[in-house]
Amino acid sequence: MKAIFSGIGVGALFLVGWLILLSTGTSVFPASTAPAAAPRDSFPPGHLPQRVEPMDLAGPFTFAGEPLPLDNFDVRERLDLELMRNAYFHRNTLLLLKRRARYFPTIERVLREEGLPDDLKYLAAAESTLDEAVSPAGAKGVWQLMAPTGRAFGLTINDQVDERYDLEKATRAAAAYLKDYYAQFGDWKKVAAAYNMGGPNLKKWLERQQAEELYDLDINNETMQYLFRIVAIKYIMEEPEKFGYHVPAAANYPALDDYRTVTVSRSIDNLGTFAREQGTTYRMLKLYNPWLITGDLDVPSGTTCDLRIPNP
């Protein structure tokens, strides 16, 4: 009992000393460890101590080499909205910045080889956050292609294989699709809108509303904002620090380019067994070949199939 009262006495003495230090304004931390005081002088009493400023719309903002007409207040406001949405959508924007090293090199190379504007890579970023995503409507892969569209542009899609998940082949298909729309509309802004809502729908609304420019259309909100979302993502990804994002190179998700190619000419009953025989795992085999969607693979007689095997 005496020990208890002795402990209480020491605790009370310590508490009194603490209160005296606080009342005199003396720091209770060493100078090197004391938490930095917030500069509250610039904030009214009772207000949240933060500084949030409007987006810088000085520009220029461009898409596929063409500037957006920022003298149009409606264009400015729609771009402003998408810049705010994506700048403050921290999780998605961070994921885009981390994934770009994995996906952009292949996309950029294919677009260049196909003679398409580099800015179209941001269409893929807007579509899927550079992820092998599946939409509620059934669009799949980084380019979010529907199955009929994928097949129309040369992709194999069946019960075992879905090449919408093959980045290079899907990008080739998307490039052909985008070229087809450019032949129809002759304007990359309209091509982007057509990719979102479908070419026939876009043509219908352009004719019905007698609109010459995409900016003049009054249609569904998703397509109305689509181009501005792409442009906002472009500018945030080009200058992330300007928007408060600091992602060192070490934080990027690595490109999956350290592999060897194995050509198989026979069907594989169990990809797990095949992976073990190749010195890897089923999980790694799927990561390097995401177009494999089941645990086996039919290889028709007289044909071959290339599989990427990660190096140890």
Omega before 60 within 30 of 0, i.e. cis = yes
pLDDT value at 194 more than 80: yes
Encoded amino acid at 143, one letter: W
Query: What pLDDT shows up at residue 9?
Result: 53
Last residue of a domain, one of 205, 229, 248: 248
Q: 104: closest CA among 112, 94, 114, 93? A: 112
E strand or H helix at 263, and its extent?
strand 259-264
In a domain, 115, yes or no: yes
In a domain, 187, yes or no: yes
For 172-181, the CB contacts below 8 A with 24+ separation are 172/110, 172/114, 173/143, 173/145, 173/149, 174/124, 174/143, 174/145, 175/110, 175/111, 175/114, 175/116, 175/120, 176/114, 177/145, 177/149, 177/153, 178/116, 178/120, 179/114, 179/116
CA-CA distance, 215 to 234, in Å (whole number)?
19
Q: How confident is the model at residue 39 (pLDDT cuts 50, 70, 90)?
A: low
In a domain, 226, yes or no: yes
Based on the fold, state whether residues 148 and 194 are members of the same structural domain. yes
pLDDT value at 154 more than 80: yes
Based on the fold, state whether residues 215 and 135 are members of the same structural domain. yes
Average pLDDT over residues 161-169: 97
Beta strands at 259-264 and 62-63: parallel, antiparallel or unpaired: unpaired
266 lies in which domain range?
259-310
Based on the fold, state whether residues 185 and 265 are members of the same structural domain. no
- The total domain count for the chain is 2
In a domain, 38, yes or no: no
Q: 228: closest CA among 202, 196, 203? A: 196
Based on the fold, state whether residues 225 and 300 are members of the same structural domain. no
pLDDT > 70 fraction of the chain, expressed in percent and rounded: 86
Based on the fold, state whether residues 243 and 284 are members of the same structural domain. no
Dihedral angle computed from the Cα positions of residues 243, 117, 69 and 209, in that order, rounded to the nearest 10 degrees: -120
pLDDT value at 36 more than 90: no
Query: What pLDDT shows up at residue 43?
Result: 62
Based on the fold, state whether residues 217 and 294 are members of the same structural domain. no
Average pLDDT value for the chain? 89
In a domain, 1, yes or no: no
pLDDT value at 3 more than 90: no
pLDDT value at 50 more than 90: no
Last residue of a domain, one of 248, 270, 295: 248
Based on the fold, state whether residues 217 and 98 are members of the same structural domain. yes
In a domain, 106, yes or no: yes
CA-CA distance, 287 to 308, in Å (whole number)?
10
Based on the fold, state whether residues 177 and 196 are members of the same structural domain. yes
pLDDT > 90 fraction of the chain, expressed in percent and rounded: 82
Based on the fold, state whether residues 222 and 191 are members of the same structural domain. yes
In a domain, 26, yes or no: no
CA-CA distance, 150 to 170, in Å (whole number)?
8
Query: How far are the Cα atoms of 91, 252, 256 from residue 247, in angstroms, in the given order?
Result: 13, 7, 19
pLDDT value at 10 more than 90: no
In a domain, 83, yes or no: yes
